Amino acid sequence: MIRAADINGRVLYSEGKHQFIWLGADEDENDEAVQANQYLVVHNGKATLFDPGGVHLFARVASAVSQYVGLDQIESIIYSHQDPDVSSGIALWMGITKAKVYISELWVRFLPHFGIIDQSRIIAIEKTGRRLPTEAGLQFVPAHFLHSTGNFTVYDQAAKALFSADIGTAVFEKSTQYLFVEDFEKHVPLMEPFHRRYMASNIALRKWVEIVSRLDVKMILPQHGALFQDAMVGRFLAWLKELKCGVDLIDSIYEA
């Protein structure tokens, strides 16, 4: 279960000058909005923030980050895609940091709708992805159409951790959320409806699984729901590889 102390997060990996941190949860967030996880990588005193979330999460996430680094130490903010639960707080984050902001080239033109007129700190991610030009050893892993047309996951080579954005999302009832998946079969019903409806197709899933399987991944960290580690990583990837979703189910969607 999620503990009361987890409001400020938990260090998932720490070795030398490198840390990978889950930034916590607040049970009250589930009342009116989609539950969301945020993550922070700290390397040699410089921080990278993943999908810091919407406006209503800003105060909590900023407070959680401050438990580990000063806000002036954030040098990069990564947005996996354009959804408001991911990126609607972008103007606030750009206002309190000097960070460079990374988002798919497909979504840069939409940023003025979030109040971002000056795009001098915006860096468009090309469709094939790339390594971040920082010391942290982070690599963009394309995840197009899962579910966004311009979607990216991020691999941390040091922590062997993969931030998977909406891939792996699970939807919990209030007060039932747990941090790590321990019983995969019981976890599947919490993931399956979302993935069948939001992921574009099995072809898109298989391509992402193929790319991820070339990496040494010990943890998969979704933006929503529980985290996969060790043996659960393989179980999850095998499940995704066979899942029919999106346009594979188009007839049944219209018939429903």
Q: What pTM value is reported for the model?
A: 0.92
Per-residue pLDDT at 110: 84
Neighbours of 241 (CB within 10 A): 14
Strand 228-229 vs strand 74-78: parallel, antiparallel, or unpaired? unpaired
Per-residue pLDDT at 242: 98
Number of residues that this document lists for the chain: 256
Alpha helices in 122-216 (DSSP H): 184-198, 202-212
Q: What sign results for the dihedral spanned by CA atoms 240, 212, 16, 125?
A: negative
Neighbours of 129 (CB within 10 A): 18
Per-residue pLDDT at 1: 57
Per-residue pLDDT at 199: 97
Give the pLDDT means over successive 10-residue stretches in the chain (256 positions).
68 96 73 79 96 89 95 95 85 93 90 84 89 87 95 96 96 88 97 96 98 97 95 98 96 80
Please tell me the CATH code under which domain 4-255 is placed: 3.60.15.10
Residue 205's contacts (CB-CB under 8 Å, 6 or more residues apart) are 146, 199, 240, 241, 243, 245
Which has the closest alpha carbon to 45: 11, 5, 82, 72?
72
- Which residue type does 105 have? E
* Lookup: tokens for 237: 């990837």
CB-based burial, 3-17: b 16+ in 10 Å, e otherwise: eeebbbbeebbeeee
Which has the closest alpha carbon to 155: 231, 233, 232?
233
* Lookup: tokens for 106: 């497909």
In Å, how far are 3, 5, 70, 119, 144 from 153, measured between CA atoms?
27, 28, 25, 22, 9
Per-residue pLDDT at 139: 94
Per-residue pLDDT at 223: 93
Q: With H, G, I as helix, E, B as strand and everything else as coil, classify residue 245.
A: coil
Which has the closest alpha carbon to 52: 43, 42, 62?
62
* Domain residue ranges of the chain, discontinuous segments joined by +: 4-255
Residue 4 DSSP label? G
Q: With H, G, I as helix, E, B as strand and everything else as coil, classify residue 94.
A: helix
